[in-house]
Amino acid sequence: MEFPTAARVVIVGGGAVGASALYHLAKAGWTDCLLIEKNELTAGSTWHAAGNVPTFSSSWSIMNMQRYSAELYRGLGEVVDYPMNYHVTGSVRLGHTKERLQEFRRVVGMGRYQGLELDVLGPNELRGRYPFVETHDLTGALYDPYDGDIDPAQLTQALARGARQLGARIERFCPMTGARRENGEWVIETPKGTIRCEYVVNAAGYYAREVGRMLGRDVPMMVMSHQYLLFDTIPELAEWTEESGHKLPLLRDVDSSYYLRQEKTGFNLGPYERNCRAHWATPEDPFPEDFSFQLFPDDLERLEWHIADAMARVPLLAEAKLAKVINGPIPYTPDGNPLIGPMPGVPNAFEACVFTFGICQAGGAGKVLAEWVTEGRTEWDMWSCDPRRFTDYCDDDYCVEKGMEVYGHEYAMHFPKHYWPAGRDRKRSPIHDRIAALGAQFKPFNGWERSMWFAKPGDDTSEAATQTWERDGPWAPRIEEECLAVRDAAGILDLPGFSRYRLKGPGARAWLDRLVTGQLPAPGRIGLAYFADDQGRIVTEMSVMALDEDFFFLITAGAAQWHDLDWLRAHLPPDAAFSLDDVTDAFSCQILAGPRSRDILASVTEGDLRKPWLTHQSAQIAGRWCQLVRISFTGELGWEIHSKVEDTPAIFDAVWQAGQPHGLKPFGMEALDSLRVEKAYRAWKGDLSTDYTILEGGLDRFVDWSKPDFKGKPALERQRQQGVGKRFVTLLVDAGDCDAPYMSTLWHDGKVVGETTSGNWGYRTGRSIALGMLRADLTEPSTKVEVEIFGERFPAMVHGDGAVWDPENERPRA
Ligand SMILES: Cc1cc2nc3c(=O)[nH]c(=O)nc-3n(C[C@H](O)[C@H](O)[C@H](O)COP(=O)(O)OP(=O)(O)OC[C@H]3O[C@@H](n4cnc5c(N)ncnc54)[C@H](O)[C@@H]3O)c2cc1C
C-alpha cells in the first residue's frame, strides 16, 4: 500500500481511544481519516490496562460516556466480526459509612435516568452476590450489573477493524515527528513522509504532551505509575466458579481504595495508593523517547497496606500466591478527567488524550470526539472533559501536585463544602491577604482563590468537618449571617478572575448582535446576553457592558475564560475592523450589595448613585478610577466595583472602612450561590449548558424575535412553533438535611419527569430551593412533584420559572 500523503483527519496514537475516534469518525461518514501509530497498535497504556469497564461515576457526563461504551462493547464483536473477551460480571462497591451509601443512592438515581438499573445492597444481600467477603464493618454496597472487563488489545483491534471496514486507514510504525501549518492545512511530519490534513487529533495517551508541543500546545498533564497484582489459582475459587457457572463480580473497596477482580481462577488486585509515585516529572527522571510495550519495575512496598486490607476483606486472597505485577504509566490531568475537544489556541486541532480510565471511556470518547470534529458540537454537554477548562495557571508543578492528589483519592467522595488542598494559590486577588485576615475559607476558580465563607475564631475549618453531604456544618451559621447581612445591611464579596474581554472598533456591535439571542444594551447600560449554537442550545451567558456604540466589555464566568473566548474568536469575520482582547488579568471586581450599599458608596465617591438599575459609570474611589456597575447577582440593591488590579487594594480599603458604621460584612461564594438560587439566576454549566436550548432554559425574554437574524434563530423558531418537551422551573422543596444536588431526579405519578440543575438553601426565604428542568405539562405553579435526594423522595412544589425572593425585582431597583 502506498504511503498516504493526505487525509481529512489525522489521529496521532493507536491506543483504545485513537482507534475509537477513528471508528466513530468513519461511522459518521468521515472515512478519509488516517490514524498514525509510532509503534504497533496498543503499544501505550492500552497494552497493560486491566480492562475494567465500570459504568459508575458520580459525574453525569462521565457516566453517560461509560454507559455508551459498555453498550457499544456488547455488540461490537459481532458488528465488526471480531470476537472479543468481554465478561460482564457485575460489580459490588463496598460502603463503610453513611455518606458512602448516600453517594451510592445518588448514583443509582442518575443511573436510572440513563436507563441503568443499579442497586444498593445490604450486607446480607452482598454476601449473596459475593460469598467470600467480610461484611461486619460495612454499611452496604452498590451493585452494578453492567460492570465487567474487556481485553483492551482486542477492543482496540476490533475498533480498528471496524474503522478499516468503513474505509479509514491506519499506518503503524509511523511516529509523528513534527507539524506545521501551511495554506490553512496541517502538514504532519513522519519518517515515512509528510501527510497533509485539515484536522489533527492528539490521541497519544501519556505521550500527549510531546505530541502537543509539536502542535504548539502545552497539554496540562502528568504521569503516574499504577500497578495491579495478579495472583495464582485458588482451588476454592476454582471450585466455586465451576459450581456457580460464573465469575465473582468485581469488588471495589472504595473507602480502602482498591479493586479486586477475579482473573480466571485467581485474583487481580489494583490499588490506588496515597503514597503514590509520579514518573517523568523531574530532570533526573526525563520522559523517554519511547516506552512502547514497557513497564516500570515492581514497587510493592507502597501497596503493603492495601494488600493486607484486601486479604482481611476477602480472606481467600491470603491463600493465593502472587504471580505477576504490572506497573505501567497512566496519565492524569489536574482533575483526573480526560481531555476531549478543541485544542485551546490551536486551529483545526483536537484532543482525545490523558485518559485515566481510557478503556471504559474509549467508546464514549470516540463518539464525543467525532462529534466535535464533524459537527463542532457534542450531543451531551461535555464540559467535564473540555480541554479549555484548564487555563494558563496549570504549569508542570501544578499538574504533578493535582495528579498525585487525584490518584491518591481516586475513589474519594466529592463533598460540596470540601475544597481540595493541593495546587492552591496559583492566582491571588490583589486583596487576598485582607480577605484571609477576615477569616476567608478559599477555593480556586480557574486558578483564582476566592472566599467561600468567612470563619470566626473557634469555627472548625478542618477537612474532617467537611466530610458530609448535609447542609449543616460549621459553615452554615456563617453563610446565614452573610446572606442576612446582604439582605439587611450590606455585604462585600471579592471576586478576582471574572473573565473579561474588550471588544472595540467599527462593526463590533453589529457582529455581536448577530451572535446573541436578544437585544444589546445601549451605551451606558449593561445587560445579560445569551449565546446559542445552531441548534438553539445554550452555549454561554455574558454580561455585556456597552461603553460606546462599538465598545464593549464582555464579562463571563471565571471558569469560562478560554471557552467563551474561543467561541467568540471562532465567529470573528476574517476582515474584522474591530479588536477582541482578553483583559481578565488587568482588572478585579468587588460585589457590594445590600440596602446600605448606596450610603456606603456615597461616602467614598461623587458618582451618581441614582442612576438606574442596569447602568454603569466611571467614578473615582480613593482617588482611583473604577467602573460602578449597577447590577447584582445577589438580587439586592448593589454595585459591582470594577477596578484596575493595582488600584483594588486602595478602593477596597476605602469601601470597607466606609461600610463599618453601616454593618458591612464580607461574604463568600457560598452565600452568593444561596442568594442567586433564591432569585432563580442561572449558573454556567449547571443550569446553563448545551444540554438545554434557550427556550427549554426559560430564557424567552432574552430572545428578540424581531431581529432579522441571530445564531440559532431558525432552530429556536422551529422549537417555538413545536413547543418544548421540558422547561426550566424553580422548585420549593420540603427537603431533609440535604438540598438537591445537581442531577437529582424529579418524580410525578411514579414517573421520572425531570432533573435538578442546582439546589441550595435560601437563607432569606428559609427554604430549600432547586432549579431544574421539568416535563413541560407540569410547569404550572403549585404543581406538586417529588425530588429524589440521595435516594429519598421529598415533596416539592413548582414555584414557576422565576425568583422566590423579590420576584418583582423591587430591591435591586430601589
Ligand atoms: C496498570 C494499569 C491498569 C489500568 N487499568 C485500566 C482499567 O482497568 N480500565 C480502564 O478503563 N483503564 C485502565 N487503565 C488506563 C488505560 O490504560 C488508559 O487510560 C488507556 O489505555 C488510554 O488509552 P489511549 O488510547 O488514550 O492511550 P495509549 O494506549 O497510551 O495510546 C497512545 C498511543 O499513542 C502512540 N503515540 C505516542 N506518541 C506518538 C507519536 N508521536 N506518533 C504516533 N503515535 C504516537 C503510542 O505509541 C500509543 O500507542 C490502566 C492503566 C494502567 C497503567
- For 456, 552, 645, 803, the CA distances from 437, given in Å and listed in that order, are 11, 35, 19, 34
46 Cα–ligand 1 center, Å: 4
pLDDT value at 725 more than 80:
yes
Which atom of ligand 1 has the smallest separation from the CA of 152? 21
Measured in degrees and rounded to the nearest 5, phi and psi for residue 531 equal: -110, 125
686 Cα–ligand 1 center, Å: 31
707 Cα–ligand 1 center, Å: 49
371 Cα–ligand 1 center, Å: 22
- For 378, 388, 771, the CA distances from 536, given in Å and listed in that order, are 13, 22, 20
- For 14, 340, 562, the CA distances from 344, given in Å and listed in that order, are 22, 11, 7
Q: Can you give the pLDDT at residue 480?
A: 98
Which residue has the least CA distance to atom 42 on ligand 1? 175
Pairing type for strands 349-353 and 638-644 reads: unpaired
Give the confidence band of 129 by pLDDT, cuts at 50, 70, 90. very high
Pocket test for ligand 1, best of 35, 36, 45 (most atoms within 8 A of CB): 45
- Report the alpha-carbon distance of residue 795 to residue 478 in Å, rounded: 28
Which atom of ligand 1 has the smallest separation from the CA of 20? 25
Partnered with residue 261 across adjacent β-strands are: 268
- Report the alpha-carbon distance of residue 623 to residue 411 in Å, rounded: 52
Which residue has the least CA distance to atom 53 on ligand 1? 328
Residues with CB under 6 A from ligand 1: 12-18, 36-39, 43-46, 48-52, 175-176, 203-207, 211, 226, 228, 292, 326, 328-330, 353, 355-360
Residue type, 424: R
Pocket test for ligand 1, best of 214, 359, 385, 406 (most atoms within 8 A of CB): 359
Structure confidence by residue, pLDDT tens digits, 675-722: 999 999 999 999 999 999 999 999 999 999 999 999 999 999 999 999
- For 116, 197, 371, 415, the CA distances from 219, given in Å and listed in that order, are 34, 21, 21, 28
- Candidates 681, 609, 663; CA nearest to 641 is 609
Structure confidence by residue, pLDDT tens digits, 367-417: 999 999 999 999 999 999 999 999 999 999 999 999 999 999 999 999 999
Pocket test for ligand 1, best of 223, 324, 330 (most atoms within 8 A of CB): 330
Helices (H), 546-662: 561-570, 597-602, 648-659
Pocket test for ligand 1, best of 85, 260, 355 (most atoms within 8 A of CB): 355
pLDDT value at 1 more than 90:
no
Which atom of ligand 1 has the smallest separation from the CA of 42? 49
Q: Can you give the pLDDT at residue 326?
A: 97
CB 800, CB 729: distance < 8 Å: yes
Position of cell 405519578? 749
pLDDT value at 724 more than 80:
yes
- Candidates 216, 447, 223, 211; CA nearest to 344 is 216
Mean pLDDT of 524-542: 98
Mean of per-residue pLDDT scores for the chain: 97
pLDDT value at 144 more than 90:
yes
Structure confidence by residue, pLDDT tens digits, 6-47: 999 999 999 999 999 999 999 999 999 999 999 999 999 999
- For 634, 655, 680, the CA distances from 671, given in Å and listed in that order, are 9, 20, 14
Pairing type for strands 6-12 and 193-202 reads: parallel
288 Cα–ligand 1 center, Å: 15
How do the residues of the chain divide into helix, strand and coil, expressed in percent and rounded to 5? 30, 30, 40
- Report the alpha-carbon distance of residue 330 to residue 48 in Å, rounded: 10
Which residue has the least CA distance to atom 18 on ligand 1? 358
**420 by DSSP, 3-state: which?**
coil
CB 168, CB 204: distance < 8 Å: no
207 Cα–ligand 1 center, Å: 9
pTM higher than 0.85: yes
Structure confidence by residue, pLDDT tens digits, 63-106: 999 999 999 999 999 999 999 999 999 999 999 999 999 999 99
330 Cα–ligand 1 center, Å: 7
306 Cα–ligand 1 center, Å: 25
Give the confidence band of 215 by pLDDT, cuts at 50, 70, 90. very high
Torsion angle, alpha carbons of 352, 354, 356, 359, to 10:
40
pLDDT value at 353 more than 80:
yes
158 Cα–ligand 1 center, Å: 16
Q: Can you give the pLDDT at residue 677?
A: 98
150 Cα–ligand 1 center, Å: 14
Mean pLDDT of 651-674: 98
Which atom of ligand 1 has the smallest separation from the CA of 13? 34
CB 540, CB 383: distance < 8 Å: no
Cβ atoms within 10 Å of 591's Cβ, excluding its own: 24
Pocket test for ligand 1, best of 12, 55, 56, 207 (most atoms within 8 A of CB): 207
- For the stretch 13-41, what's the b/e string if a residue is b when 16 or more beta carbons lie within 10 angstroms of its beta carbon? bbbbbbbbbbbbbbbbebbbbbbbbbbeb
- Report the alpha-carbon distance of residue 673 to residue 682 in Å, rounded: 10
